[in-house]
């Protein structure tokens, strides 16, 4: 699976706080454009294999997609995987201490499963970067605006 795009943002806050906000996936609509709701399928702890339902769309046309935690390293990284049509996307978010704050990083990868989707993959990668490339900036803006306060306290 090749890398579609990478991003990084520095946040002037402790790693523990950034991590807590990042993995409260029910708050993802604050920083993931086009996502209206994220809900856990069950009440098991967040770990590898955890499943979420994600409501996407524009109100008049919404769809529900499954999203899975496919890799989880507590306090360091989480990979969220979803599938639409013949394309599987993995978004790995990671954190590390950096210059009196936290460096938040995203590596997005996509895999096409049929010839048609493989031919469209360069376009899909470009569209993923255009649409989802703002995740970290939007996360930082929401974090700095105090929108995760309930999560952090």
Annotated domain spans of the chain: 2-152
| Superfamily holding 2-152 | START domain (3.30.530.20)
The mean pLDDT value for 5-31 works out to 95
| 61 secondary structure, DSSP code | S
- Dump pLDDT digits (tens) for 44-53: 999 999 999 9
The neighbour count for residue 151, using CB atoms within 10 Å, is 15
> What would the pLDDT profile of 23-71 be if each residue is shown by its tens digit?
999 999 999 988 999 999 999 999 999 999 999 887 678 889 999 999 9
- The residue among 45, 103, 52 whose CA lies nearest residue 74 is 45
- Identify the pLDDT of residue 149: 79
Residue 123 has pLDDT above 80, yes or no: no
Q: Assign 144 a pLDDT band (cuts: 50, 70, 90).
A: very high
Q: Model confidence at 133, in pLDDT bands (50, 70, 90)?
A: confident
Which pLDDT score, from 0 to 100, does residue 34 have?
87
- Alpha-carbon distances of 71 from 93, 102, 117, rounded to whole Å: 10, 21, 25
Number of Cβ within 10 Å of residue 119's Cβ equals: 11
- Nearest CA-CA partner of 31 in 118, 100, 133, 102: 133
Q: Can you read off the two tokens belonging to residue 109?
A: 């990868």
pLDDT at position 121 over 60? yes
5 has pLDDT over 90:
no
Contact between residue 62 and residue 56 where contact means Cβ atoms under 8 Å apart: yes
Taking residues 66-82, report their average pLDDT: 96
């Amino acid at each position: 699976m090749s890398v579609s795009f990478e991003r990084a943002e520095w946040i002037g806050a402790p790693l523990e706080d950034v991590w807590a906000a990042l993995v409260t996936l029910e708050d993802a609509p604050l920083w993931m454009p086009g996502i209206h709701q994220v809900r856990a399928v069950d009440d098991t702890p967040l770990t590898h294999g955890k499943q979420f339902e994600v409501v996407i769309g524009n109100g008049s046309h919404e769809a529900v997609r499954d999203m899975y935690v496919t890799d989880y390293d507590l306090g360091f990284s989480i990979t969220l995987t979803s599938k639409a049509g013949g394309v599987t996307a993995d978004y790995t978010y990671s954190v590390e201490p950096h210059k009196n704050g936290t460096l938040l990083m995203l590596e997005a990868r996509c895999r096409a499963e049929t010839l048609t989707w493989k031919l469209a993959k360069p376009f899909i990668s470009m569209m993923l970067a255009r649409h989802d490339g703002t995740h970290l900036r939007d996360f930082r803006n929401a974090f700095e605006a105090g929108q995760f306060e309930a999560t952090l306290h």
